[in-house]
A and B are shown apart, each in its own frame.
Chain A
Amino acid sequence: DVKVTQSSRYLVKRTGEKVFLECVQDMDHENMFWYRQDPGLGLRLIYFSYDVKMKEKGDIPEGYSVSREKKERFSLILESASTNQTSMYLCASSLGRGNYNEQFFGPGTRLTVL
């Protein structure tokens, strides 16, 4: 069974802290994605990666960075957390090239920044 796991389901951090969200997939997928989900806005793409050590900005990259040192792992970093980064963060992965490929999602991390 395919699986995308995220390091935490719930996380509470303070303003200014550096925050790491980890995502691991066991499907040998080339592509990995980080989204944030907010009510009424759907999912918005933060960053994505189509290969190890590669990264591309999504629609809302400001305040975030990413790291992909191994194929199966994609980390989202909040360099200095702010209250407007309180949100649900979803990681996803997909296979290879082609716009018809399904993305597989992790369960999400609900981050609260105080």
Chain B
Amino acid sequence: GNSVTQMEGPVTLSEEAFLTINCTYTATGYPSLFWYVQYPGEGLQLLLKATKADDKGSNKGFEATYRKETTSFHLEKGSVQVSDSAVYFCALSAESGDYKLSFGAGTTVTVRA
């Protein structure tokens, strides 16, 4: 079946530090890959996505590249801010098109001033 594994947290960083959250997946064919973010007290919102191999998704200074050869979609940001404190979820939607998302366990990131 489809599954997503992301690095366990929590992760605590200082402002302006570099952030990487690892995500690997198991799926047949070519799934679409997503990063969602959940700010405190809110629902999830899409951060970025990539729908085919070698695509790079980017938004709000975050980037992730769809690597088919390593089945990975690692999230990176070069200089984090306190406002980036949130829970980050990696997710995939299978190529078979049943519209479901399979989520990783989530990584809690705290950025200190």
Contacts and interface: CB of A to CB of B under 8 A. Distances in A.
Interface of A: 4, 31, 33, 40-45, 48, 50, 58, 90, 92, 94, 97-108
Most chain A beta carbons < 10 A, residue from B51, B101, B104:
B101
Nearest to B93: A99
A58 B49 CA distance: 23
B49 A102 contact: yes
- List the 10 shortest-distance A-B pairs measured between CB atoms, nearest first: A105-B43, A99-B93, A42-B103, A43-B103, A42-B105, A105-B44, A100-B51, A100-B32, A107-B43, A102-B46
A64 to B, nearest CB: 16
B14 interface: no
B79 interface: no
A31 B103 contact: no
Interface string B99-113: 111011110000000
B97 A98 contact: yes
Interface of B: 4, 31-32, 34, 36, 41-46, 49, 51, 89, 93-101, 103-106
10 contacts: A42-B106, A43-B89, A45-B100, A50-B99, A99-B32, A99-B51, A99-B94, A99-B98, A102-B49, A103-B44
Contacts of A4: 43
A22 to B, nearest CB: 15
Contact of B42 (A58, A99, A107): A107
Given A100-B32, A102-B49, A42 B94 contact: no
Nearest to B44: A105
A41 B43 contact: no
Contacts of A101: 93, 99
Contacts of A104: 45
B32 A106 contact: no
A100 B34 CA distance: 9
Given A90-B43, A90-B44, 17 more contacts: A33-B100, A42-B106, A43-B44, A50-B99, A92-B44, A97-B99, A98-B97, A99-B99, A100-B49, A102-B46, A103-B101, A104-B45, A105-B36, A105-B44, A106-B43, A107-B41, A108-B42
